[in-house]
A and B are shown apart, each in its own frame.
Chain A
C-alpha cells in the first residue's frame, strides 16, 4: 500500500478531504482488504481518543495559584531586553562622542624606539605601526547602529508585522 494512500485514510478520518477525494479514497478502502484493516484500526483509535477525559488538578489548585500571585509584584509591561539594548546604544554613543571630542587623540602611535636589535628579534617581520582610533570609533558607531536596528525591530517592526499576520 502506498504511503500517500495511508495518509489519505487519516485525512479521510479527519474529514479534511474534498467530497470527490473522500469518495475516491472510500472506494479504495472498500476494495482493498489491507486498507480496510488500516482504516478500521485508525478509526477505532480516532473514536476512542474523543473519550480522553479532561483531568482536574487538586481542589486547592486555584487557591495556591492566587496565593502565589500575592507574592509576585504587580503586572508590568517593563521589558529588560529593551532596556539593555537602549543602555548599549547609550554607552556606545557616549564612548564615541567623548573620544571624538578630543581631536588630538585621533591616532595613537606605537613607540618604535625599542631596542630590538640587541634582543635578536627580526624587525622586518614586525607589523605594528599604529592604531587608528577612527576605525575603533567607526566600529563602536556601527555597533550602536546594529543595536538601534535591533531595538527598532523589537519595538516597531515585530508588533506591526505580528498584527498584520493575525489579520
Chain B
C-alpha cells in the first residue's frame, strides 16, 4: 500500500471514530508543521500554539479533506492560515517591525554564540517577511514544488516563483550584511 493510500485508510478510521489514530498523523507532521509556523511567527511559543490549533481544526474538518490531494498540503494550508491569523492578531496589539532588513538589535550580544553559517542563515531567515519565510521553508525544508506551495498559500505558481526569487535575493543581501558586521565586530 502506498503512502497516500495508507494515509487515506488512516483518515477513514479516524473519521469512523478511532480518535486515537490521529496521534499517528500528529506525530508524522508536527515537525514540519511547527517549522512552518515558526518561520511565519518567528516565535516558538506562538508557533506551538498555532500548530496545536491547526491540528485541532484539521481534525474537526477531516471530513472536508479531499483525498485526491496530499494530506500534508491540506494540513500545511491550515497551519499557514492559522499562523497568519496569529500575526494579524499580534499586529493589532503591537507595532511589530520585522520586515526591515536591518540586523536585529539583540544580535550584538549574541555575537559570540553564533558559531556557524547555519546560524547566520537562520538569522537572515528570521528577518524575512512571514510570507517569504514560509515559501523558503516549504521549498527547502519540505522540498515542495511551486505548484504545491501555490496551493497551500493560495497564490499563483508564478507569484510563488517571483516571491521565492525575491526572498533568496533578500537572504543573500542580508547574509552579506550580517557577515560584514560580524567581521567588523570580531
Q: Do A and B bind each other?
A: yes
Q: Is B4 an interface residue (CB 8 A)?
A: no
Q: Nearest-CB distance from B152 to chain A (Å)?
A: 15
Chain B residues within an 8 Å CB radius of A72: 56, 59-60
> Which residues of B approach A to under 8 Å, CB–CB?
14-15, 17, 19-20, 22-23, 26-27, 30-32, 34-35, 38, 44, 47-48, 51-52, 55-56, 59-60, 62-64, 66, 68-69, 117-118, 121-122, 125, 136-137, 139-141, 164-165, 168-169, 171-172, 175-176
Given contacts A54-B31, A69-B56, whether A49 and B19 have CB atoms under 8 Å apart is no
Whether A162 lies near B31 (C-beta < 8 A) is no
Quick one: which of A41, A57, A68, A76 contacts B48, CB cutoff 8 A?
A: A57
State A10–B160 Cα separation when bound (angstroms).
13
User: Could you list 6 further interchain pairs (A-B, Cβ under 8 angstroms) beyond the known A44-B175, A50-B140, A52-B35?
Assistant: A52-B137, A55-B44, A57-B30, A62-B26, A66-B20, A72-B59
Chain A contacts with B in 79-100, Cβ cutoff 8 A: none
Whether A69 lies near B22 (C-beta < 8 A) is yes
| 25 sampled A-B residue pairs with Cβ under 8 A | A7-B165, A41-B176, A42-B169, A42-B172, A45-B175, A48-B121, A48-B175, A51-B118, A51-B121, A52-B122, A52-B136, A54-B35, A55-B34, A55-B35, A56-B30, A56-B31, A61-B26, A61-B34, A61-B48, A61-B52, A62-B26, A66-B19, A69-B22, A75-B15, A163-B66
Whether A56 lies near B34 (C-beta < 8 A) is yes
Given contacts A45-B168, A72-B56, A166-B66, whether A54 and B141 have CB atoms under 8 Å apart is yes
> Which residues of A approach B to under 8 Å, CB–CB?
7, 10, 41-42, 44-46, 48-58, 61-62, 64-66, 68-70, 72, 74-77, 162-163, 166-167
Chain A residues within an 8 Å CB radius of B141: 52, 54
Given contacts A42-B168, A54-B31, A74-B17, whether A48 and B176 have CB atoms under 8 Å apart is no
State A10–B19 Cα separation when bound (angstroms).
45
Chain A residues within an 8 Å CB radius of B176: 41
Whether B136 lies near A65 (C-beta < 8 A) is no
